Chains A and B, each alone.
Chain A
Amino acid sequence: QKEVEQNSGPLSVPEGAIASLNCTYSDRVSQSFFWYRQYSGKSPELIMSIYSNGDKEDGRFTAQLNKASQYVSLLIRDSQPSDSATYLCAVNFLVSGGYQKVTFGTGTKLQVIP
């Protein structure tokens, strides 16, 4: 089982709809969770971080975390064609020495259809 799992997609949604991206992670001590967006040919860029259970909203983006279910999601409201990209989920796991190490999922490709 991979430590961070995402459906590779593509996930296709019509313009203006809500896009829902999901991520599950393994049963290890984890503290923080991130969503990155990666446009084709570009580096990943951080769009959201979440640390505690519940929802966190930032503009059209909402991150949701459920630690009991080991589940984190990203909702994009009023999806735009410019949101078309690959979305990467990342989790900070506690490793030996008391450090944390970031592990990425393989990403979900989102296509917003005009």
Chain B
Amino acid sequence: GAGVSQSPSNKVTEKGKDVELRCDPISGHTALYWYRQRLGQGLEFLIYFQGNSAPDKSGLPSDRFSAERTGGSVSTLTIQRTQQEDSAVYLCASSFTGTSGETQYFGPGTRLLVL
């Protein structure tokens, strides 16, 4: 079956521009996570959607970052007025909640470069 997909796979933008990154989770997965990973660094949690609950936005680094999840499926991460330090790979993961908890599956990521 189809896995998690993300688009675009690569994005080059100029400082100050807005960007939108898209994530299509695995069908039926109720939870969706966004992470940022800078070169050579670990996963940095950004935001977590679970079902119809209010999202956990505790990882968003500034108010330039926002995310939506429409209809409990597709999610969009928006970065406004991009800065060079926003350059990173943005990873989306979706998960189902089984009897023993959640199992996450990652998309291929969007590589963002801010010039």
A residues in contact (CB < 8 Å) with B: 31-32, 34, 43-46, 49, 51, 88, 90, 92, 95, 97, 99-107
Contact = CB atoms under 8 A, between A and B. Distances in A.
A44 B56 contact: no
Given A43-B91, A46-B103, A104 B109 contact: no
Nearest to B105: A46
A8 to B, nearest CB: 8
A16 B91 CA distance: 33
B42 A100 contact: no
B42 A102 contact: no
A25 B97 CA distance: 21
A103 B41 CA distance: 15
B33 A31 contact: no
Interface string B83-105: 00000000100010100111111
B42 A105 contact: yes
Contacts of B50: 97, 99, 101
8 contacts: A31-B100, A32-B102, A34-B103, A51-B100, A100-B102, A101-B56, A106-B43, A107-B43
A100 B104 contact: no
The B interface, classified by DSSP as helix, strand, loop or mixed, is: strand
B34 interface: no
A44 B106 contact: yes
Q: Which of B43, B48, B101 has the most CB atoms of chain A within a 10 A radius of its CB?
A: B101
Nearest to A33: B101
A102 B104 contact: yes
Contact of A102 (B33, B91, B100, B107): B33
Given A43-B108, A102-B95, A97 B53 contact: yes
A104 B45 contact: yes
